[in-house]
Amino acid sequence: MHMSFFGFGQTAEIDIVLNDGDTRKKAEHKTEDGKKDKYFLFYDGETVSGKVNVTLKTPGKRLEHYGIKIEFVGQIDLYYDRGNHHEFVSLVKDLARPGELSQSQTFDFEFTHVEKPYESYTGQNVKLRYLLRATISRRLNDISKEMDIVVQTLCSYPELNSSIKMEVGIEDCLHIEFEYNKSKYHLRDVIVGKIYFLLVRIKIKHMEINIIKRETTGTGPSVYHENDTIAKYEIMDGAPVKGESIPIRLFLAGYELTPTMRDINKKFSVRYYLNLVLIDEEERRYFKQQEITLWRKGDIVRRSMSQQASIAAQRFEGSNSETASAQAKEESN
């Protein structure tokens, strides 16, 4: 809210109220300072409608204005470029022509089937936000009020979801194969995998899998990468032996993850990697990294976590036989 130049304070107050505010779901979202707040949750294509209430502070005193409007805005703010808001959605509805208000008034607004192509995101160097902004235009000082909403993007089950197979090797010292059941996971999924030790001639004392989130902002010469270790999963403590295989089950629901975002409006990307880390007795570290795709599940069916894990394990164990994969298809449909 802007104060008047003359220190008299504001002559009117604006309030934005959504029509379905009583029933609409709210979602927790992180603000720039790391706190979590709840905001109304919207999806792509949903209508945003409500009322703008203008309350005059001093009854009987008229409010002259040059028009009242409401905007629906989707914008990307890069923290190193603070002054610039990159708007990818910008819709305006005029609520009142220039004139004067002699009493408090309520204006209806509706933005029908609004395109909201990207998910709301607050990162290390970038923020993607959606907001409603109501403004009373005045000669000296506009009066305005903003209201943030949160948008989530939903996907359906990816058709092609091949497993990941990788090898890590140091000639004549170490040879490991690892396999994950798929390469695309929804945000409440379970990563099921196996690690095979084919050759072990170095003393490995510790082994873990990390989920790394990489946020990339900017283009050309001014590209910033922020790597953040979201999860650490200890696979084993102690030395493995040749021929040993170790199962992996990593539940994603407990971590703060977003869907994978690739080249959003040519401004930023958020990608996720599984990083296998081996540490030997001389504290040398060996890495192998593999990108995975994360997506937000669209259907409302909620299976229990243990049920999900056992289904994933069955699919993974039986992935060589056609019958098992046919059953898995039936289950996922």
- What are the structure tokens assigned to 34, written together? 């790391």
pLDDT digits (tens, 9 = 90+) for 263-276: 999 999 999 999 98
Q: pLDDT class for 303, splitting at 50, 70, 90?
A: very low
Please state, in angstroms and rounded to a whole number, the distance separating the CA atoms of residues 76 and 82: 10
Instruction: List Cβ neighbours of 157 (8 Å cut-off, separation of 6 or more).
Output: 297, 332
CATH number at residue 27: 2.60.40.640
Can you give the pLDDT at residue 114?
94
Mean pLDDT of 222-246: 85
Q: pLDDT class for 305, splitting at 50, 70, 90?
A: low
Rounded to the nearest 10°, the torsion over CA 221, 289, 32, 89 is 70
pTM of the model: 0.81
Looking at the structure, do residues 16 and 109 belong to the same domain, yes or no?
A: yes
Looking at the structure, do residues 56 and 145 belong to the same domain, yes or no?
A: yes
Specify the number of domains making up the chain: 2
pLDDT digits (tens, 9 = 90+) for 88-98: 999 999 999 99
| 315: in domain | no
Assess contact for 193 and 248: CB atoms under 8 A.
yes
Please state, in angstroms and rounded to a whole number, the distance separating the CA atoms of residues 119 and 102: 41
Q: Which domain holds residue 41?
A: 12-151
Looking at the structure, do residues 103 and 231 belong to the same domain, yes or no?
A: no
| 56: in domain | yes
Which range among 40-44, 66-70, 141-145, 237-241 shows the weakest confidence by mean pLDDT?
Answer: 237-241
Q: pLDDT class for 300, splitting at 50, 70, 90?
A: very low
E strand or H helix at 41: strand 36-42
